[in-house]
């Protein structure tokens, strides 16, 4: 019976004693065969809990081999995998469970008390999973068979639902099919020359496209190993690097490494590849990295909705400040934001992409899908770019009001809606400004209600109960009025200029 992701990513490794996950010192932590036995026990558990193909499974768990095995279990059972940032508050999780209609919520035992009422209210079952693999889930799984016959899936059946925030403040679930994920993994593995001999240093979170699909699916597809760090930590990465051959990161990883004198040419001499994405890599960082290590970081560009779209070449020039050329099978054009007409080379417009990588639409939001996915299959990314003389894509900005901080997306509208409700606040504007560590960071500009004096620490504490910490403004200022144009629209560009030096 066919199950595209299982057949290509997992089936070849059944019973294999090859190492899959490695410890930071390069020693084997978990073999492929054992990983798949664990995944099969989890698949049996999901099935016994009553999950059927197409049901949604929400996972808000710390990064661990078991959390990764859950992804494999979801593929085997045909359950749609919906991973969540561990920083999300109970209020945020409520939205995702409710909107997706998930049957099961798996979370850290430490979050059980906060999330049990949410699950109960929404008719979902809650099961705990700790970072060390312990918890209710492993208790349920340990007596289950270590074999599971994967259910049949078609190429267009959903494998995952990944939420991405929207400009209205309401998150949208991007529906990703087996074909979307598999085709991208195949294209990337070939483009970046991954083989079974590779050891990928994995320090990314596994609840986003980058760490979950780009990194993990490539390793699974090619049979390579991963040094699976719980998170990015400069010391841990520096000590693990001698045992790796490749690393994937967001720009913050590379600026943090460059800030450390132990990060040298010798330390990276045996590495064959560093890739960067999820946020713009400054040309200065690319050059400083090349100077220090002799490696040119390979920058690529992607999105939750599309997986990866472009990449600098493995062989051939990796141009700083560009995200490279369209990947094999990806059609890319730069279009006029008003008319949708394709623009000539050199002109700035919106990036549109089409290909097997492009998602199936937003979960239960046909109008949103129609706004962004054209009937001919082109997806309107909202990223502004031009093509250089060699056809390389140069991203110059975004038409969407979005902040990318350390590789996490923050939609100002969502933060503004919360700030506007805070005591003493009449209205707010949230902007992104340059930040030396996170690339961009969040500044909130508040206007007080007449006669009120907003209490900043109280506002941050209250907003922090509702929004994940990484979304909170790292600076909040109170002004008399927001700058507006003649149409009454807040001039965020004026605010961005005014507060540009906030973190300099």
The least CB distance from residue 202 to ligand MLC, in Å, is 11
Q: Which is nearer to ligand MLC, 38 or 299 (CB)?
A: 299
What does 398 interact with, of ligand AMP, ligand MLC, none (CB < 5 to 8 A by kind)? ligand AMP
The dihedral through the CA atoms of 200, 312, 327, 393 has a sign that is: positive
CA pair distance 130, 314, nearest whole angstrom: 38
Residues in CB range of 181: below 8 A, 6 or more apart: 5, 159, 160, 213, 217, 307
Binding pattern for the stretch 457-476 against ligand MLC, x by CB under 6 A and - elsewhere = ------------xx------
Half-sphere exposure of 264 (CA within 13 A, CB side): 4
Q: Which is nearer to ligand MLC, 6 or 163 (CB)?
A: 163
What does 204 interact with, of ligand MLC, ligand AMP, none (CB < 5 to 8 A by kind)? ligand MLC
DSSP annotation string for 92-116: HHHHHHHHHT-SEEEE-GGGHHHHH
∠ CA 285-289-291, nearest 5°, is 120
Query: Which residues ranging from 288 to 307 are in contact with ligand MLC (CB under 6 A)?
Result: 302-304
Q: Which is nearer to ligand MLC, 52 or 461 (CB)?
A: 461
3-state helix, strand, coil in the chain (%, to 5): 35, 25, 40
Collapsing DSSP to helix, strand or coil, 493 comes out as helix
Instruction: Please identify the residue of the shown chain whose CB is closest to the bound ligand AMP.
Output: 304
CA pair distance 365, 399, nearest whole angstrom: 21
The least CB distance from residue 256 to ligand MLC, in Å, is 8
Q: Which is nearer to ligand MLC, 2 or 461 (CB)?
A: 461
Q: Of the candidates 341, 308, 346, 368, which has an alpha carbon nearest to the alpha carbon of residue 183?
A: 308
CA pair distance 212, 70, nearest whole angstrom: 12
Can you tell me which of 361, 406, 444, 473 binds ligand MLC, judged by CB under 6 A? 406
CA pair distance 168, 111, nearest whole angstrom: 28
The least CB distance from residue 383 to ligand AMP, in Å, is 5
Q: State the DSSP code for 487.
A: T
Collapsing DSSP to helix, strand or coil, 416 comes out as helix
The least CB distance from residue 64 to ligand AMP, in Å, is 22
Collapsing DSSP to helix, strand or coil, 172 comes out as strand
The least CB distance from residue 371 to ligand MLC, in Å, is 20
CA pair distance 336, 242, nearest whole angstrom: 47
Q: Are 89 and 157 in contact (CB under 8 A)?
A: no
The least CB distance from residue 83 to ligand AMP, in Å, is 13
Provide the strand spans (E) within 216-261: 225-228, 246-249
Q: Which is nearer to ligand MLC, 4 or 407 (CB)?
A: 407
CA pair distance 490, 402, nearest whole angstrom: 15
Q: Which is nearer to ligand MLC, 137 or 187 (CB)?
A: 187
- What is the Rg, in whole angstroms, of the alpha carbon atoms belonging to the chain? 23
CB neighbours of residue 288 within 10 Å: 14
Count of residues binding ligand MLC (CB under 6 A)? 22
What does 306 interact with, of ligand AMP, ligand MLC, none (CB < 5 to 8 A by kind)? none
The least CB distance from residue 167 to ligand AMP, in Å, is 12
The least CB distance from residue 122 to ligand AMP, in Å, is 25
Q: Which is nearer to ligand AMP, 209 or 293 (CB)?
A: 209
Q: Which is nearer to ligand AMP, 226 or 404 (CB)?
A: 404
Give residue 68's Cα distance to chain centre. Answer: 15
Can you tell me which of 103, 111, 178, 210 binds ligand MLC, judged by CB under 6 A? 210
Residue 71 lies near ligand MLC (rule: CB under 6 A): no
Footprint on this chain of ligand AMP (rule: CB under 6 A) = 164, 209, 277-280, 299, 301-304, 323, 381, 383, 395, 398, 404, 409
Query: Which residues ranging from 128 to 157 are in contact with ligand MLC (CB under 6 A)?
Result: none
What does 383 interact with, of ligand AMP, ligand MLC, none (CB < 5 to 8 A by kind)? ligand AMP
The least CB distance from residue 202 to ligand AMP, in Å, is 18
Q: Which is nearer to ligand MLC, 5 or 174 (CB)?
A: 174
Would you tell me which residues interact with ligand MLC (CB under 6 A)? 204-205, 208-211, 231-232, 250, 252, 277-278, 302-304, 405-408, 438, 469-470
């Amino acid at each position: 019976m066919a199950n595209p992701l299982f057949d290509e990513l997992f089936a070849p490794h059944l019973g294999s004693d090859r190492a899959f996950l490695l410890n930071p010192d390069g020693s084997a932590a978990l073999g492929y065969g054992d990983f798949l036995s664990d995944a099969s026990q989890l698949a049996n558990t999901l099935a016994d809990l009553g999950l059927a193909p197409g049901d949604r499974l929400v996972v808000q768990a710390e990064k661990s081999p078991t959390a990764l095995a859950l992804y494999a279990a979801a593929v085997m059972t045909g359950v749609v995998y919906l991973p969540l940032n561990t920083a999300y508050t109970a209020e945020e999780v409520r939205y995702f469970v409710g909107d997706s209609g998930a049957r099961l919520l798996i979370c850290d035992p430490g979050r059980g008390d906060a999330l049990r009422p949410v699950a109960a209210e929404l008719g979902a079952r809650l099961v705990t999973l700790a970072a060390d693999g312990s918890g209710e889930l492993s208790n349920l799984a340990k007596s289950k068979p270590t074999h599971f016959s994967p259910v049949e899936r078609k190429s267009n059946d959903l494998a995952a639902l990944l939420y991405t925030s929207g400009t209205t403040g309401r998150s949208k679930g991007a529906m990703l099919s087996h074909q979307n994920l598999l085709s991208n993994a195949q294209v990337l593995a070939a483009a970046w020359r991954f083989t079974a001999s590779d050891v990928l240093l994995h320090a990314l979170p596994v609840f986003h496209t980058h760490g979950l699909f780009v990194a993990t699916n490539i390793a699974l597809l090619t049979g390579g190993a991963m040094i699976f760090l719980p998170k990015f930590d400069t010391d841990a990465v520096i000590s693990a690097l001698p045992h790796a051959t490749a690393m994937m990161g967001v720009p913050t990883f590379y600026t943090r490494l460059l800030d450390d004198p132990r990060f040298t040419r010798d330390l990276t001499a045996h590495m064959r590849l560093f890739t960067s994405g999820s946020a713009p890599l400054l040309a200065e960082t690319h050059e400083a990295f090349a100077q220090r290590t002799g490696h040119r970081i390979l920058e690529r560009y992607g999105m939750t909705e599309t997986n990866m779209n472009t990449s600098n070449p493995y062989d051939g020039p990796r141009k700083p400040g560009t995200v490279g050329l369209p990947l094999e099978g990806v059609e890319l054009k730069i279009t006029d934001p008003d008319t949708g007409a394709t623009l000539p080379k050199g002109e700035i417009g919106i990036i549109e992409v089409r290909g097997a990588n492009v998602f199936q639409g937003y979960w239960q939001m046909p109008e949103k899908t129609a706004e962004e996915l054209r009937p001919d299959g082109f997806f309107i990314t909202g990223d502004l770019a031009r093509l250089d003389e060699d056809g390389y894509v140069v991203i110059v900005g975004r038409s969407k009001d979005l902040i990318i901080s350390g590789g996490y997306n923050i939609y100002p509208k969502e933060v503004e809606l919360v700030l506007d409700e805070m005591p003493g606040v009449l209205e707010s504007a949230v902007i992104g400004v340059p930040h030396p560590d996170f690339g961009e960071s969040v500044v909130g500009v508040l206007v007080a209600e007449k006669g009120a004096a907003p209490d900043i620490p109280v506002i941050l504490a209250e907003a922090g109960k509702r929004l994940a910490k990484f979304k909170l403004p790292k600076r909040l200022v109170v002004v008399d009025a927001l700058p507006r144009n003649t149409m009454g629209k807040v001039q965020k560009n004026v605010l961005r200029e005014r507060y540009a030096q906030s973190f300099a």
